[in-house]
């Protein structure tokens, strides 16, 4: 677990679980845009050679959360994006007592419902390395709304996509193909949930998936980003701290709202 800014033990924990890259560094833009003013932030980094199963990854994250809370018990906001959204959901259902708020950003929970992704994902492990490298670059315009990002952000995204080796990427895609959560499990999770979905997500049917999850979670709310792509947290017009404030998911506003 990385600490991207100076620790702030007096503030609630914000734990970010990253996408397929597993490096967690792509949250930096949101940190600079105000997220750190409300939270003590941690980002999960999954080693590039890690081939853990869902159960193993879930157990590791739960253990990390327990360690964080053992020394300073405080509210914990768990946020997962894409692949990390699947992992965050697994963690929340495994250890709901550790989590106060769950935030899912374009979670890849519907990956197995996209036939073309199912078909194309099987090719990832079979491509020769030179073709795989080209395919990663070619996939970038589908993954991100590049016109809504700076060149630096686009370069950071490409570097993150190239962070895990081909075998690891293929393995994590296989995990998303087999991901499954039963509706009853979602019904039983009563903590507040915020679903953030991008209308122009060219990878996943994120808006439709957010509608499905909204139906099952008993205490959920949703924000739709009308012009955003899949990697919305890298876009210059998207400010996660403002979204959290508008939805009463910001610590000080939550307290005032409850009062």
What stretch of H or E contains 21? Answer: none
* Domains of the chain as residue ranges with CATH: 13-258 (3.40.50.1820)
Q: Mean of the per-residue pLDDT values for the chain? A: 88
Task: Report pLDDT for 129.
Answer: 60
- Higher pLDDT, residue 202 or 141: 202
75 exposure class (CB count in 10 Å sphere: 0-12, 13-18, 19+): middle
Q: Which contiguous run of DSSP H or E holds residue 196? A: strand 193-198
Checking if the pLDDT of 119 tops 70, the result is no
User: Maximum CA pair distance of the chain?
Assistant: 60
Q: Which residue has the higher pLDDT, 113 or 253?
A: 113
pLDDT at residue number 259: 37
**Residue 125 in this model has a pLDDT that exceeds 80:** no
pLDDT for residue 74 is more than 90: yes
């Amino acid at each position: 677990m990385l600490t991207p800014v100076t620790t702030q033990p007096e503030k609630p924990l914000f734990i970010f679980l990253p996408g397929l890259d597993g490096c967690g560094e792509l949250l930096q833009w949101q940190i600079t845009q105000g997220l750190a003013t409300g939270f003590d932030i941690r980002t999960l980094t999954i080693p590039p050679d890690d081939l853990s199963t869902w159960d193993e990854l879930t157990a590791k994250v739960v253990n990390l959360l327990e360690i964080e809370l053992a020394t300073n018990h405080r509210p914990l906001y768990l946020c997962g994006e894409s692949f990390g959204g699947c992992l965050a959901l697994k963690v929340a259902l495994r250890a709901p007592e550790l989590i106060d708020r769950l935030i899912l950003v374009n979670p890849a929970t519907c990956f197995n419902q996209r036939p073309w992704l199912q078909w194309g994902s099987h090719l990832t492990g079979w491509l020769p390395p030179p073709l795989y490298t080209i395919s990663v670059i070619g996939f970038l315009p589908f993954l991100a709304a590049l016109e809504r990002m700076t060149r630096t952000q686009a370069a950071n995204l490409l570097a993150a996509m190239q962070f895990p080796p081909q075998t690891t990427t293929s393995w994590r895609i296989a995990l998303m193909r087999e991901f499954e959560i039963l509706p009853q499990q979602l019904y039983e999770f009563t903590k507040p949930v915020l679903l953030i979905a991008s209308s122009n997500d060219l990878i996943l049917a994120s808006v439709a998936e957010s509608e499905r999850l909204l139906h099952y979670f008993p205490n959920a709310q949703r924000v739709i980003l009308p012009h955003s792509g899949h990697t919305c947290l890298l876009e210059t017009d998207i400010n996660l701290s403002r979204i959290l404030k508008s939805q009463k998911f910001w610590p000080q506003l939550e307290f005032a709202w409850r009062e």
